[in-house]
Structure 1
Amino acid sequence: MPVTFNHTIVAARDRTESARFFQEIFEAASAPSWGPFTNVLLDGGMVIQFADLPVEAFPEIQDQHYAFLVDDALFDRAHRRLRDTGVEHWADPQRRRPGETNTEHGGRGVYFRDPAGHFLEMITTPYL
């Protein structure tokens, strides 16, 4: 069996809010949730499991970077939702081009933060 990526756990302050954000922006499906996880299912069977970190033990969440490859139609719809809901976004990871998208690597891309502060990237063409 080849190696495939199955799931990851993403730290949150409000796992339900973070999961809902991903579902709304990326049109992702909810998945059965259990224990400390609220799960979101992406195409290909990849699961993102959101888990609340207690403030007492983790006063700050270490932000991570997650990049998502989408087709042009979903990019257009998701980017529109970012704009319509007032989610700050940038064309570059340095956040010098607010409100823009980029056309690097032969496609389009945009960076934005999720409710927990993680830095998300949405691209239409893979880098490699």
Structure 2
Amino acid sequence: MSVHLNHTIVPASDRDATATFLVEILGLDPAPEYGPFRVVSLGNDVSLDVVQAGPEVPSQHYAFLVGDDEFDQIWGRIKERGLTYWADPFHQRPGQINTNDGGRGLYWSDPDGHNLEIITVPYGGG
């Protein structure tokens, strides 16, 4: 068996709100509880296990590879909510998307400041 990422833990100041934010923006199924976690299941058998943390949450980066239709839907939900988005990870190009590697990408923040990214082509052009 090759090595696959199975899950990663996402710390949150409000576990339920963060899990709900992720599933709503990304268009995923509701996140069930599993022990102290809310499990956000992604399409490649990987999950984001959202856990309650203290009031100060260290910012992490989570990138999602999506198809063109999913990109348009997610981007639409970001705009509908009035969320700021950027074309770059350092948030220097607000209100823009990038076309890196022949695809499209953008960044936005979750309620705890995690830097979220969607891309349609993997880095290096896939």
Identify the TM-score tier after normalising by the shorter chain: over 0.9
TM-score (norm 1): 0.91
Structure 1 position 17 matched with structure 2 position 13 = no
TM-score between both structures, scaled by the size of structure 2: 0.93
Shift of residue 31 of structure 1?
A: 4.5
* Partner Cα distance (1:83, 1:15) in 2: 23
Q: Quote the residue 1:86 is aligned against.
A: 82
CA–CA separation in structure 2 for the residues paired with 1:25 and 1:32: 17
Amino acid at match of 1:41: S
Structure 1 residue aligned with 2:122: 126
1:32-67 deviations in whole A, cap 9, x for unaligned?
422211111100211111011133xxxx21101111
1:18-33 paired onto structure 2 within 5 Å = 18-33=18-33
Quote the RMSD (CA, aligned, Å). Answer: 1.1
Is there any run of 5+ residues in structure 2 with no aligned partner, and where?
none
SS at match of 2:38: strand
Deviation by residue 1:96-125 (Cα, 9 ceiling, x = unmatched): 211111111110000000111100110000
- Runs of 4+ with deviation above 6 angstroms: none
Aligned length: 124
Structure 2 residue corresponding to 1:115, chosen from 111, 118, 122: 111
Q: Secondary structure at the match of 2:44?
A: helix
Structure 1 gaps of 5+ residues are none
Q: Which residue of 2 aligns with 1:37?
A: 37
CA separation in 1, counterparts of 2:31 and 2:46? Answer: 10
* Equivalent position of 1:101 in the other structure: 97
Deviation, 1:22, is 1.0
